[in-house]
Chain A
């Protein structure tokens, strides 16, 4: 009776201990890696500043042809929806197009893509 309980306890303790040691190693490794990559990041910060100035000059031009851009956009989106709904031969009417937070949508798509094999 005592022996089997001892084996059970010993086994669990050793498994936890070994994995705890591994946690320690991996965490230390991670911290060292993060410190070395942080020093590399500081070098890169100075470079992007130039490209930012460029963008602001382009932005105002957009407002002038907002009307045209919008109809173009609608046409493109309708075409995309039609292309993807390839099992529906019937035509559809677009009632409204709302902009969602674009980053979240792409993130989701990326995640779905990567997790497909599972």
Chain B
């Protein structure tokens, strides 16, 4: 009889319940809120659900699925990881080695049509302008320490946070996992949450910075793009960018490979897999691994609050830069470019393009800006990858 109670007591003591503290419980509540946002409000559920659940299970005490200490050193001891790691450690290897973000870009490339960009190359400039969100946020993050009550960031951390302005999930994860791995969870959650909020964040800024007349501009139809151009484009872009900014090579080459496979038309099966099965598998692994890094110690610190503020700032500045450059193009081309498509340079594909379309229709119901906005939108993907490469080459 005594043995029964003894065993019960031992099980209880060695169970997680005994070592629950308030911080851990708070993380559970937070994970629950994110799960609610993913399922009910449908904020980027494909990734957010995995991230939220990863956050839940990584904070389970005594379960040892993820060990932050294994990943803390600059030179990671992988044999140690394999010997002492838990399930989430093994899955995290793909994040640490840059495999998951690159493969997601492969899938994205297979789903992207660069036609509108090729037809109107000046969209590249709008895609470049919107990356101002990244660099001005970097400034903001570096100087945040000077404001009382707000956290201070090292240069590397500031760069990792700044990349949220690229509005590109895989790119943020790519940079954060190298420059500030301890902030990866917060950065990824901030990035994906703000991407889901693009339809709320962008319109006020777009309306503030443009006049009604500018918003009513109807753009002329895009020229048709030949198949040859669509095949040469990815090859060209890969060569140019990988040679100039080698740190962006993994992301860019995978993006362009996916696109080449799609445009060539001869590898239908591979394209279907890249668009569906591959994307899904990697998304599952990525979500869980990223969520796993959001341990209570790291997440419930002042740095997270700073990341939330800076993330919002990044999106706002990026939108503003894009729209302002759009106004510049409007002036230069004598009224041919609608500044609203500038905000689509914030590379949340295709959400930002949809927002430009809706705002354009609000001003002029017969205006169809979607295809024109897709140009800057996909240029923004390329732009944010280049910006990521620049930041990585400076800071790593």
Contacts and interface: CB of A to CB of B under 8 A. Distances in A.
Interface of A: 3-5, 7-8, 10-12, 14-16, 18-23, 25-27, 29-30, 33, 37, 111, 115, 118
A17 B370 CA distance: 26
B36 interface: no
Contacts, number: 106
B240 A21 contact: yes
A22 B240 CA distance: 7
Given A26-B118, A33-B229, A4 B128 contact: no
A23 B125 contact: yes
A25 B376 CA distance: 17
Interface residues on B, range: 35 or more
Given A12-B132, A22-B124, 6 more contacts: A4-B139, A11-B134, A15-B383, A21-B240, A22-B237, A29-B236
A12 B137 CA distance: 12
Contacts of B127: 19
Given A8-B135, A18-B386, A19-B382, A30 B121 contact: yes
Contact of A27 (B121, B228, B368): B121
26 contacts: A4-B142, A4-B155, A10-B394, A11-B131, A11-B134, A11-B387, A11-B391, A12-B132, A16-B129, A18-B241, A18-B386, A19-B379, A22-B124, A23-B121, A23-B122, A25-B236, A25-B240, A26-B229, A29-B233, A30-B118, A33-B226, A37-B226, A115-B357, A115-B368, A118-B354, A118-B357
Ranked nearest first, the 7 interchain pairs of A and B with the lowest CB-CB distance are A23-B121, A19-B124, A8-B135, A19-B128, A26-B121, A11-B135, A4-B142
Nearest to A34: B223
A5 B379 contact: no
Nearest to A117: B350
Interface in B303-347: none
Interface in B103-135: 117-119, 121-122, 124-125, 127-129, 131-132, 134-135
B385 to A, nearest CB: 10
A39 B195 CA distance: 46
Given A11-B135, A22-B240, A26-B118, A111 B368 contact: yes
A8 B133 CA distance: 10
A117 to B, nearest CB: 9
A30 B383 contact: no
- Interface class of chain A by DSSP: helix
Nearest to B370: A115
Given A111-B368, A118-B353, A14 B245 contact: yes
B356 to A, nearest CB: 11
B131 A15 contact: yes
Contacts of A5: 139
A21 B241 CA distance: 9
Given A4-B142, A19-B125, A19-B386, A12 B131 contact: yes
Contacts of B244: 14, 18, 21
Contacts of A20: 124-125, 128
Interface in B218-267: 223, 226, 228-229, 232-233, 236-237, 240-241, 244-245
Given A11-B387, A30-B118, A118-B350, A18 B240 contact: yes
Contacts of B232: 29
Interface string B264-296: 000000000000000000000000000000000
B134 to A, nearest CB: 7
B138 interface: yes
B135 to A, nearest CB: 4
A85 B139 CA distance: 57
A95 B119 CA distance: 44
Contacts of A33: 226, 228-229
B236 A22 contact: yes
B240 A15 contact: no
Contact of B138 (A4, A22, A115, A118): A4
A13 to B, nearest CB: 9
B368 to A, nearest CB: 5
A7 B394 contact: yes
B120 to A, nearest CB: 9
A33 B232 CA distance: 11
A7 B138 contact: yes
Contacts of A8: 135-136, 138-139
B93 interface: no
B390 interface: yes
B117 to A, nearest CB: 8
